[in-house]
């Protein structure tokens, strides 16, 4: 709590930014440590092992937060325990390794040091940087530039229009558990990625969601690099990572508190783990990798509904390709195991909805389960925006056309290039027998078909499949460069250098178009206050609300807007599709005493409303503070003072 209180206000903006980055590093390190605990040592090694352990470990942390929220035990000390628990065993292993190394050093004084493996220099990690060429260094510099700029932007202010991802987690942290408001549908959305925002509240209030989401953009790049490297060599890995960075919408949404890039990371790692399971020579290793892939796919579905549909369709497509090309027995049984793990991975979300609202598939209608009456109107609003029915062939074809059009207009460069040059890629892949490239291209077409089936209206909802498109294009380009008969090394380095220039140029163009070339965190407290106030009218007075609040207070926000993540007291989340809570209360209760008593019964002691809000006339309250667009009152008391 001390860190959170210190980092929350604009009076310590520099400290807040540094504490936020420190919390992010600790979150990722603890995720990797949990992964090292749950996944045995050995295969896979290198980048593959790092990604698999990190994805599994972050999943463990997410479900730890889910468990604490379900039992209303989201206390700071419990979150600290979750972050530090896996390190004890790892420190013991490190101490044992140091002892073995000391023994090897003593033994080496009497013999040849080369005979002691513990004294040999680290191969990949120790010598990899020295082996990089000029084009690879240039691309790494361009990627590092985009990462640093996006991180700085993530530390400014969260301009995310769908703020409920952070709002609900902040409220759960303040309420010490998951709140189940009767009129808010968005609290029942899949929240696997959102759970990782909660430990960040120990360090920062304002930047928790944006820093985590931006970190998933970086991890997605690492996953794409590892997949391309495994499929077609190091050049394909670098090309895949660079091509991913040409996707404009990644830079648009990375600094905001969304969860799309988290679902993209888990979809990419789940499909990559499935590929590793199909290529493993050891049956035991293949079985474990298949289990991990299915579980990661289920967690992907827990992050976003559309991502769950994509990973399910693409996973079944991979199994279909494997059974059609390898013709080995047992594929059906392994696919059934994968589907079982996928279903197991989605269970926490269903349990949460079943306990909170009595329907496991919210925001979707579930047969044999009743929906609370307050949520029915919200479901109507959700269906009007995202409603889905079985499309006709014409509607499905139109949906696919929207995806293709969006790839060109919204900056999904890898997919757009794949589609424009698809005849060339198909001819080359078939002529040269590049079956892995053709398989990836087919999966890209499957992803477009799945998006057309869903009838998505925004390309943002297609972001989970971006990693697949980047790997497919990177593998194609690497294979084509490898077939150049003359000056192949120079052509490869020239391609990487040109891609580096393209990445940096596109990124600067995007920031200039959005007017964000100078949108970085101010270095002074007064500068941060002035900067934030220009973009958020509620920013100057949230600290006043926190100061006037008493222990045990809960805030009802009615008829005005507020960046809820700034608050230190529980609050009512805004209903994005249903009716506001104050309207439901005024509809049920008619008299002023009855409305006041109902608000107090639900725990609301403070009311923030627009000056002309009707609720202010129908509740007994005492004014505490007033601003141009809002007034703060204490419910149930009259008179002056606080």
DSSP 307-370: HHHHHHHHHHHHHHHHHHHH--TTHHHHHHHHHHHHHHHHHHHHHHHHHHHS-TTTTS--TT-P
Residues 6 or more apart whose CB falls under 8 angstroms from that of 383 comprise none
Q: Are strands 630-635 and 606-609 parallel, antiparallel or unpaired?
A: antiparallel
Which tokens go with 298? 């289920």
Q: Give me the pLDDT at residue 110, please.
A: 55
Residue the block writes with tokens 């925004």: 458
- Residue 69 inside a domain? The answer is yes
Q: What size, in residues, is the chain? A: 642
> Above 70 in pLDDT, residue 116?
no
> Above 60 in pLDDT, residue 121?
no
Q: Give me the pLDDT at residue 516, please.
A: 54
Q: 208-232 and 466-482 are packed helices; what angle lies between their axes, rounded to 10 degrees?
A: 30
DSSP secondary structure code for residue 517 in this structure: T
Distances (CA, A) of 273 to 30, 147, 155, 363: 21, 26, 33, 29
- Residue 106 inside a domain? The answer is no
Same domain, 139 and 270: yes
- Residue 300 inside a domain? The answer is yes
Does 467 or 377 have the greater pLDDT score? 467
Same domain, 64 and 194: yes
Q: pLDDT by residue (tens digit) across 16-62?
A: 668 889 999 999 999 999 998 888 776 787 888 899 999 999 999 99
Same domain, 275 and 154: yes
Same domain, 499 and 572: no
pLDDT band for position 639 (50/70/90)? Answer: low
Lowest pLDDT segment from 6-10, 161-165, 461-465, 494-498: 6-10
Residues 1, 208: Cα–Cα separation, whole Å:
15
Domains held by the chain: number: 2
- Residue 417 inside a domain? The answer is no
- Residue 519 inside a domain? The answer is no
Highest average pLDDT, of 41-50, 469-478, 609-618, comes from 469-478
Q: Give me the pLDDT at residue 12, please.
A: 45
- Residue 232 inside a domain? The answer is yes
In the predicted model, what is the mean pLDDT of residues 186-194?
92
Percentage of the chain surpassing pLDDT 90?
32
What burial class does residue 467 get, using C-beta atoms within 10 Å of its C-beta: 0-12 exposed, 13-18 middle, 19+ buried?
Answer: buried
Same domain, 305 and 358: yes
Same domain, 490 and 620: no
In the predicted model, what is the mean pLDDT of residues 262-282?
92
Same domain, 543 and 507: no
Same domain, 488 and 601: no
Q: pLDDT by residue (tens digit) across 147-174?
A: 998 888 888 765 665 578 888 899 899 9
> Which of 40, 25, 154 shows the shortest CA–CA distance to 83?
25
Q: pLDDT by residue (tens digit) across 428-439?
A: 888 888 888 888
Across the chain, mean pLDDT equals: 81
The boundaries of the domain holding residue 556 are 537-635
Same domain, 557 and 600: yes
Same domain, 493 and 585: no
Same domain, 552 and 502: no
- Give the residues across from 634 on adjacent strands: 606, 622
> Above 50 in pLDDT, residue 6?
no
Same domain, 276 and 164: yes
- Give the residues across from 558 on adjacent strands: 609
Q: Give me the pLDDT at residue 321, please.
A: 84
Q: Give me the pLDDT at residue 275, please.
A: 92
Q: What is the three-class DSSP state of 52?
A: helix
């Amino acid at each position: 709590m001390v860190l959170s209180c210190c980092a929350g206000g604009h009076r310590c903006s520099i400290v807040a930014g540094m504490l936020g980055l420190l919390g992010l590093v600790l979150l990722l390190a603890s995720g990797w440590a949990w992964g090292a605990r749950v996944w045995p040592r050995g295969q896979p090694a290198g980048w593959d092992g790092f990604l698999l352990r990190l994805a599994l470990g972050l999943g463990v942390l997410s479900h730890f937060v889910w468990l604490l929220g379900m039992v209303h035990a989201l206390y700071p000390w419990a979150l600290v325990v979750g972050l530090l628990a896996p390190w004890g065993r790892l420190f013991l292993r490190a101490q044992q390794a140091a002892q073995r190394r000391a023994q090897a050093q003593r033994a080496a004084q009497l013999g040849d040091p080369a005979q002691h493996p513990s004294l040999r220099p680290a191969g990949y990690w120790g010598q990899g940087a020295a082996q990089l060429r000029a084009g690879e260094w240039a691309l790494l510099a361009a990627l590092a530039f985009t990462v640093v700029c996006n991180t700085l932007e993530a530390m400014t202010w969260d301009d995310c229009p769908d703020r409920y991802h952070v709002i609900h987690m902040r409220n759960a942290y303040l309420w010490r558990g998951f709140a189940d408001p009767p009129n808010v549908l968005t609290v029942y959305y899949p929240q696997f990625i959102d759970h990782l925002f909660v430990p960040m509240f120990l360090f920062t209030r304002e930047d928790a969601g944006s820093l985590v989401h931006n970190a998933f953009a970086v991890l997605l790049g690492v996953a794409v690099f590892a997949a391309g490297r495994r499929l077609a060599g190091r050049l394909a890995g670098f090309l895949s990572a660079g091509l991913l960075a040409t996707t404009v919408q990644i830079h648009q949404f990375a600094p905001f508190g969304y969860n799309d890039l988290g679902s993209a990371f888990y979809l990419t790692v789940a499909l990559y783990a499935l590929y590793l399971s199909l290529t493993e020579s050891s049956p035991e290793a293949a079985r474990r990798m298949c289990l991990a892939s299915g579980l990661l796919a289920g967690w992907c579905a827990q992050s976003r509904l559309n991502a769950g549909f994509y990973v399910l369709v693409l996973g079944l497509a991979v199994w279909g390709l494997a059974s059609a090309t390898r013709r080995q027995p047992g594929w059906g049984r392994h696919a059934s195991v994968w589907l079982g793990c996928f279903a197991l991975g989605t269970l926490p979300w269903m349990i949460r909805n079943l306990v909170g609202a009595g329907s496991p598939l919210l925001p979707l209608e579930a047969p044999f389960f009743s929906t609370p009456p307050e949520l029915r109107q919200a479901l109507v609003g959700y269906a009007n925006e995202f409603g889905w029915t079985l499309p006709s062939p014409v509607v499905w074809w139109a949906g696919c056309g929207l995806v293709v059009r969006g790839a060109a207009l919204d900056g999904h460069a890898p997919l757009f290039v794949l589609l424009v040059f698809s005849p060339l890629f198909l001819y080359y892949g078939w002529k040269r027998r590049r079956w892995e490239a053709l398989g990836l291209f087919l999966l890209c077409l499957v992803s477009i078909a799945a998006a057309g089936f869903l009838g998505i209206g925004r390309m943002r909802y297609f972001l989970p499949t971006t990693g697949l498109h980047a790997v497919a294009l990177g593998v194609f380009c690497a294979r084509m460069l490898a077939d150049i008969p003359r000056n192949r090394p120079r052509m490869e380095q020239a391609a990487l250098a040109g891609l580096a220039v393209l990445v940096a140029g596109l990124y600067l163009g995007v920031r200039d178009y959005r007017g964000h070339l100078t949108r970085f965190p101010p270095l002074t407290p007064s500068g941060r206050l002035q900067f934030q106030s220009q973009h958020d009218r509620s920013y100057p007075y949230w600290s006043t609300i926190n100061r006037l609040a008493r222990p045990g207070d809960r805030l009802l926000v009615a008829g005005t807007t507020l960046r809820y993540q700034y608050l230190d007291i529980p609050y009512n989340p805004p209903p994005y599709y249903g009716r506001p809570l104050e309207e439901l209360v005024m509809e049920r209760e008619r008299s002023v005493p009855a409305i006041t008593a109902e608000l107090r019964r639900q725990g609301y002691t403070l009311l923030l409303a627009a000056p002309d809000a009707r609720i202010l006339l129908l509740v007994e309250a005492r004014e505490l503070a007033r601003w141009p667009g809002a007034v703060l009152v204490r419910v149930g008391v009259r008179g002056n003072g606080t």
